[in-house]
Chain A
Amino acid sequence: MRRRHLAAGLASASALAALHFKQARAEVSTILNVSYDVGRELFTAIDIAFVKAWKTKTGQDIKVDQSYGGTSKQARAILEGLQADVVTFNQVTDIQILHDRGQLIPANWQSRLPYNSSPFYSLPAFLVRKGNPKAIKDWDDLTRDDVQPVFPNPKTSGNARYTYLAAFAYGLEHNGGDETKAEAFVAKLLGNVPVFDTGGRGSTTTFVEREIGDVLVTFEAEMHGVAREYGDAGFEIVLPSMSIEADFPVTLVDRVVDARGSRDVSSAYLEFLYQPEAQEIIAGFGNRVRDDEVAKAHAGDFPAVRLVTVEQVFGGWGRAESEHFADGGLFDRAFSPGRQR
């Protein structure tokens, strides 16, 4: 019964997507976008553009309310009743939980929008001190005895999970897919980290303000924030030979939009993220975008990097979580010997 209901919902959603909000009418005057902790400036800029676009297309005034926080906490709040019409996260697993724990969204939420419902992406990259005194070029440099990398604890930070997985993928590639050797590679790298903060912002402070470590590993997009806050005089961005695609997944919260009658405008909001106007804004904040034209225009800011995905190397986030990050998993094994040295 529920499945049929969902199927009907999906059908109407895709029909609406086809209509592309020309005839769509909002029954509500506000929608709530629940987002990740450092997304405020980006989505503030996007919302202004969307409000204008929606007004032009439909003549209606709409207001986009915003909530920011760590995505695990945000997901929990939505499960407990926070009335999110749309979520825009930086973690796939924290959206998946809305299905697994609360049936708030259908199982196939990720296939409802292009690029696995991820309108933009970023990748773990290196920020080194000016002139790159330690000549850090690639992941294997982070395992050198004279190099101290800084990134948050992968147990508490989604950002650092990508870093860990990227390093692991590099270790696999350079050891002919030998998982034991990749594990040793990552263990060596983890052992070099002088301090693990709980989140990306904490590690940035450690590296930039407390001047600890030789290289900060974080999202490329985050580095543009560093440049804005601290000026880019003291640092350089280094892109490794390969990295992992970090998605920024989005979805409607079906239960909420159906109860509030906000499905039209909420879908329109998410589709807007894929349009050149929004993609331009998104690229301006240091994220890599999907739209070819916009990507081409910003090609100078985003040199080409070979990217793997969690899907390809680790069989999706579900498996990566259970094999690597669950208690007693590969991460714990790689982490403990590294700490003892």
Chain B
Amino acid sequence: MRPDMPGRPARVGDGPVARRVLIGLACLLTLAFLVAPIALIFTQALAAGPEGYLRAITDGDTLHAIVLTLTTAAIVVLINMLFGLAAAWALSRFRGPALLLVVIELPYSISPIVGGVMYLLLYGNQGLFGPWLAAHDIRLMFTPAAIILVTLFITSPFVARELLPLMQAQGIDEEEAALSLGAGFWRTMTDVTLPNVKWALLYGAILCTARSIGEFGGVSVVSGNVRGQTNTLPLQIELLYNDYNATGAFAAATTLTLLALATIGAKMLLERRRTA
């Protein structure tokens, strides 16, 4: 609704001065809190020149951290898409499992570090299942498997939560129609259900990717911080920073920032398609 629309009661901020002040303030805050830090990351990363930047980025351990982070995100997103689809489908088709919804949403409200500690208390050597795992020579904690598990836990609501409102709103009419026309379960799934939710599914996947790439707290607890093995990109950045290696830290941070910007770009593209 535009402010000069006739018949609309005047609001605070409609005056030319107030409007300019508000817009100016918004721009200033955006500059100070969003643009400046991102610009700083890039200037710091390039402080030692392009060669220094390249050397920092291609450092073996940093490269490994990038690969580990992306692999983790890929696995986690794939599993979460399947899980999210199944959960949202079940929740929107059957009545009753409100408890399931609470469980699915739990990771939203739990601090990631608590998620990490929970896994440690369950599967660590002094944990609940730890002794059994140790006796069978299964090592879960402080391996990439632990990183994937914890990231999975933290990002599990993202796809489901994105799909659920849509599936609830769409109802089951189309699916019932498909079934009554003789389509089987899988046919209904691939031809009716999935096409209806594909944008929401992708959108959830993108949110999930962004979240899992940036995850720090939970992963930090179960990673063991073995560089070149279980150090993810955020952990590697902390390590380099602690080490007085500002160029390395900021160079690694640029890759994380670029990944984030790429996901945001994908998200915006998707939003345009969804609303188009």
Contact = CB atoms under 8 A, between A and B. Distances in A.
Interface string B197-217: 000000000000000000000
Given A66-B226, A68-B225, A82 B243 contact: no
A308 interface: no
B126 A80 contact: yes
A80 B225 CA distance: 14
A224 to B, nearest CB: 10
Most chain A CB neighbours (cut-off 10 Å) among B124, B142, B229, B241: B142
A298 interface: no
A228 interface: yes
Contacts of A101: 126
A146 B246 CA distance: 33
Given A41-B243, A229-B244, A81 B130 contact: yes
B139 to A, nearest CB: 7
Given A65-B228, A68-B227, A81 B242 contact: no
A192 to B, nearest CB: 27
Interface in A13-52: 32, 37-38, 40-41
Contacts of B241: 201
A240 interface: no
A201 B242 contact: yes
B73 interface: no
A82 B224 contact: yes
B243 A81 contact: no
A41 B61 CA distance: 13
B229 A65 contact: yes
Interface in B217-231: 224-229
B242 A80 contact: no
Contact of B242 (A38, A77, A79): A38
A226 B244 CA distance: 8
B141 interface: yes
A33 to B, nearest CB: 10
A228 B141 contact: no
Contacts of B127: 80
A306 to B, nearest CB: 29
Contacts of B130: 80-81
Interface residues of B, number: 23
Most chain A CB neighbours (cut-off 10 Å) among B120, B134, B239: B239
A83 B130 CA distance: 14
A273 to B, nearest CB: 20
Given A80-B124, A80-B141, A83-B139, A65 B226 contact: yes
Contacts of A102: 125-126
Contacts of A284: none
Nearest to A104: B125
Contacts of B225: 67-69, 74, 77
A21 B32 CA distance: 59
A276 interface: no
Interface in B226-250: 226-229, 239, 241-246
A179 B225 CA distance: 42
A81 B124 contact: yes
Contacts of B246: 229
A81 B244 contact: no
Interface SS of B by simple majority = loop
B120 A80 contact: yes
A67 B226 contact: yes
A42 to B, nearest CB: 10
Interface in A241-281: none
Interface string B48-79: 00000000000000000000000000000000
A225 interface: yes
Interface string B122-152: 0011110010001000010110000000000
Contacts of A68: 225, 227, 239, 242
Most chain B CB neighbours (cut-off 10 Å) among A69, A80, A225: A80
B49 to A, nearest CB: 17
B239 to A, nearest CB: 6
A68 B243 CA distance: 10
Most chain B CB neighbours (cut-off 10 Å) among A41, A81, A225: A81
B142 A83 contact: yes
Interface in A61-81: 65-69, 74, 77, 79-81
Nearest to B133: A81
B239 A81 contact: no
Contacts of B126: 79-80, 101-102
Contacts of B228: 65
A27 to B, nearest CB: 17
Contacts of A69: 225
B244 A82 contact: no
Interface in A53-67: 65-67
Contacts of A41: 243, 245
Nearest to A69: B225
Contacts of B242: 37-38, 40, 68, 201
Given A102-B126, A229-B244, A82 B239 contact: no
Contacts of A226: 244
A37 B245 CA distance: 13
A291 to B, nearest CB: 25
Given A32-B226, A41-B243, A41-B245, 9 more contacts: A38-B244, A67-B227, A77-B141, A77-B142, A81-B139, A82-B224, A83-B139, A102-B125, A226-B244
6 contacts: A65-B228, A67-B225, A68-B227, A80-B130, A82-B141, A82-B142
